[in-house]
Structure 1
Amino acid sequence: MPPIPVEAMTEAQKSAVAQLTQGAPAGAAPRSVGAGPWVPLLRSPEFLNRLQRAGAYLRYESALEPRISEFVILLTSRHWSNQYEWFAHEKLALKAGLKPEIAKAVAEGRRPTGMAADEEMIYDFIDELHRNRSVSDVNYQRVVQKFGERGVIDLVGLDGYYSTLAAILNVAQTPLPANTPQQIPTLPR
């Protein structure tokens, strides 16, 4: 789905663009509808409006610190083999304190070694959620003890939000920016 030229946008699409570009919190990078998930989402402006508000909360106001949030986004991007979200978030994860070797292992589809205790419990929780579509009482209790019930819900919401974006990006065959190499290898299903 290619970008929609401004002159071809409906009033609802123009309004969604205005809301999106104003929707990032102070200090966050401004959003642009010229790339990424916003290009296909603009086909449903009301969905874009509602989804971007949830995304702003999950990225910038959730109970999870940025290192953990970005780790979850990388795990979700890897699960969906989504090049675009990996491209958009790997540098953010490293800047937030995730070790490069952990990101590399996730990119290669391997369980990382040397994770911090909170990263390990997040990895186990998200991995089990992706494989079983549920989590065990043990993994639930570990995460709720560390992050609280709000943290559990924000964690699942973050995975669900980025799963939605990855599915949309994959269906729309959203390309990486020009001259950007493939970010993560394609893994067998």
Structure 2
Amino acid sequence: MRLPLIPPDQLTAEQKPLYDDMRKGIASNFNAFKVEREDGALMGPWNPWLHEPKIGRAIWDFTLAMTAEATLPDNVRQIAILVVGARFDAAYEIYAHIAVAEREGMTPERLSTLTADLKPADLSPEENVAFDVAYALSRGGVLPEPVYSLAIRTFGQHATNELIYLVGLYALVSVTLNGFNVPVPERE
């Protein structure tokens, strides 16, 4: 880990409101995995965001908007997030979203295939499209027209936009985690 965790009693006046907002949002939206140390220091991508609170606030607001305004079903979202995490080999992202997907009933076989950066054979039509969009975008370049057109037919324009933004958000999260070598807490 390249940035030390910040205990709550060591937060600056600029970091404290962001920390409080993150803890509130984490408690209601990101509670399937370990996000803080015993002393209250935030782990995962939240710690790097706290180190740069102006940038961290913008990323956190984007994260909250993507959560609060979600229209895609969560199974579709988790497929896309795991595809991105596997592509970037972002250990904490994979750890966190395996926990979310397990809580929602995703099978170990599907999780194993997704985290191996492969396409599971048992995806629903919607999950299949989410996989293809996330897979193509996380490799760089323009999203191929057949993939984009299928996403529009499957989800409509608004939800396709959401899916593209979701892939972008989790690419940012993955780069943050990898850039700062954020470790994975032990699973209980």
- Deviation at residue 71 of structure 1 after TM alignment: 1.1
- Could you tell me the TM-score, scaled by structure 1's length? 0.84
- Deviation at residue 151 of structure 1 after TM alignment: 0.9
- Deviation at residue 140 of structure 1 after TM alignment: 0.9
- The answer for the alignment partner of 2:24 in structure 1 is 22
The answer (yes or no) to whether the contact 2:84–2:135 under 8 Å persists in 1 is: no
Whole-angstrom distance in 2 between the partners of 1:127 and 1:52: 24
How many residue pairs align between the two structures? 180
- Deviation at residue 61 of structure 1 after TM alignment: 2.7
The answer (yes or no) to whether the contact 2:22–2:60 under 8 Å persists in 1 is: yes
Which residue, 5, 10, 16 being the options, matches 1:3?
Answer: 5
The answer (yes or no) to whether the contact 2:133–2:164 under 8 Å persists in 1 is: no
The answer (yes or no) to whether the contact 1:16–1:46 under 8 Å persists in 2 is: no
**Are positions 1:89 and 2:97 aligned together?**
yes
The answer (yes or no) to whether the contact 1:16–1:45 under 8 Å persists in 2 is: yes
**Are positions 1:123 and 2:125 aligned together?**
no
Structure 1 residue identity aligned to 2:124? A
- Deviation at residue 27 of structure 1 after TM alignment: 6.7
The answer (yes or no) to whether the contact 2:49–2:57 under 8 Å persists in 1 is: no
The answer (yes or no) to whether the contact 1:143–1:152 under 8 Å persists in 2 is: yes
**Are positions 1:37 and 2:39 aligned together?**
no
Which residue, 107, 110, 113 being the options, matches 2:115?
Answer: 107
- The answer for the alignment partner of 1:76 in structure 2 is 84
Whole-angstrom distance in 2 between the partners of 1:151 and 1:100: 27
Whole-angstrom distance in 2 between the partners of 1:123 and 1:22: 30
- Deviation at residue 133 of structure 1 after TM alignment: 2.2
Which moves more between the two structures, 30-39 or 142-151? 30-39
Whole-angstrom distance in 1 between the partners of 2:26 and 2:11: 22
**Are positions 1:134 and 2:142 aligned together?**
yes
Q: Which stretches in structure 1 are left out of the alignment for 5+ residues?
A: 182-189
Identity %: 23
Which moves more between the two structures, 34-43 or 89-98? 89-98
Q: Which deviations, in whole Å up to 9, do the C-alpha atoms of 1:39-67 show, x marking residues without a partner?
A: 11111112222212221222343121111
Whole-angstrom distance in 2 between the partners of 1:170 and 1:63: 28
Q: Which stretches in structure 2 are left out of the alignment for 5+ residues?
A: none
Q: Quote the RMSD (CA, aligned, Å).
A: 2.3
Whole-angstrom distance in 1 between the partners of 2:21 and 2:183: 24
- Deviation at residue 25 of structure 1 after TM alignment: 8.1
Which moves more between the two structures, 18-27 or 142-151? 18-27
